[in-house]
Structures are given as structure tokens and as C-alpha cells.
Amino acid sequence: MSISAKTRTDEVHARLRADILAGRFAPGERLKFTPLCQAYDASVGLIREVLSRLAEQGLVLANPQVGFQVMPISVDDLLDLTRTRMDIEGLTLRRGIERGDRAWRARIVATHFTLADTPRRDASAPTRVTPAWEAAHADFHDALLAGSGSPRLYAIATALRSSACLYRRWQEAIDPFDAARDPAQEHATICQHTLDGDSDSAVAALAAHIELTTTLIVASRATS
């Protein structure tokens, strides 16, 4: 693949991924080639490659009978995803702490500072998490996973986080459960234990953070 072709593929991939995470396609919705080619001004081959990549990241489901569709969501899948994330992300973070790379710790400090300094809600759109906070949040969690020294483990962990984004993005509206947590404190706790080199406490704090998100999503759905 030429550099220009790769750049074009990366561009369409980024746009379609962002649109899926923004909820512009409903869970389980079929992703048909003709409208996608028109919407993203791309060939069938390029769209197929992008959809295959998104399927590897857990955002799209490739079904021989149906074709490609946005990953369906369900409580059972969310619970399974949560348990798997707690195992894999915990192992990835533990590996990073064991390696103790200075550049990795510096990245965690920098991304946490940005996250802590970025407003989570905006008065102009109070039912949505701000895009800036969402980006800072993603950068912080990516930093936590980036120090394991294992590209394969990192890839698995980030793919699971991408799948979890589907649930978080579709459950962003403020409800009575939003006040049941303090994300800033949760992130600060994870960050501090990680920088202290306390693997057990850092992994436990990350697991509690992941599990609480799921608990609140499930509770919110049960009352909707």
C-alpha cells in the first residue's frame, strides 16, 4: 500500500470510528457499502478494509449472513466485557509498573494533569461529556496501558477499551446516577498508586473504576 493510500485509509478509519463512537450509527445497525462509500467518498475496497479494522477493534461485527454492523450492545455483553477488561487492563498496568520506565511515568503525569484540568461538563451542553474531557480521558487511560512492553497485550487492552466506549458514549446523559461517583478522585487515585509503584493498589483502583462505570450503566438502564 502506498503512503497516500494508507493516509487515506487512516483518515476514513478515523472519521468512521469517531462517528460510531458519537452514536451516529445505532447499536446493531447494518453498515452498508453504498451509503458509506458516498458518505466518506471512498471505494468499496477501502470501506471494506476500514470496517475490517474496526471489527478487530471491537466496534464493528462482521457477520457472514448480515455483513458488517455496529457492535450490538446488551447487559450480558457489557458484564462480560467488564470482567475481561478488569483482567487484561489490570495485567497491562501491572506490567507497566514492574518495568518502571521513566518516560512512561512522565506521560502518566502529563496526561493526568491535562485530564484534571479539563472541564467534564459544559453549561452549553450539560447532558454531554465535553469532547475535550473525552479526549483527555482517553489519553490518560491509554498512557496507563502503554508501559507494558508488550505490543500484543497493549493492542488487546486498547481494543477492549474501544468496545467499552460504545457503552459509555450511549449512556452519557446526566441522570441521578451521575452524582454517585467522583471521576476526578478515581483517576487521581489510580495515578498516585501507579506513580508510587504500588501494583496491587493501582490495579485494584483501576478495576473499581471500570466496574463502577458498568454498575451505573446497568442501574440506569434498569430504571429507564
Give the model confidence (pLDDT) of 171-183 as tens digits. Answer: 655 555 566 689 9
Confidence (pTM)? 0.80
C-alpha to C-alpha distance for 15 and 20, rounded to whole angstroms:
9
Give the model confidence (pLDDT) of 49-88 as tens digits. Answer: 999 999 988 889 998 887 999 988 888 999 999 999 999 9
Residues with Cβ within 8 Å of residue 190, at least 6 apart in sequence: 144, 202, 205, 206, 209
DSSP-assigned states of every residue in 9-38: HHHHHHHHHHHHHTTSS-TT-B--HHHHHH
pLDDT for the residue 127: 67
Helix ranges (H only) for 117-178 are 131-145, 151-169
The helix (run of H) or strand (run of E) holding residue 175 is none
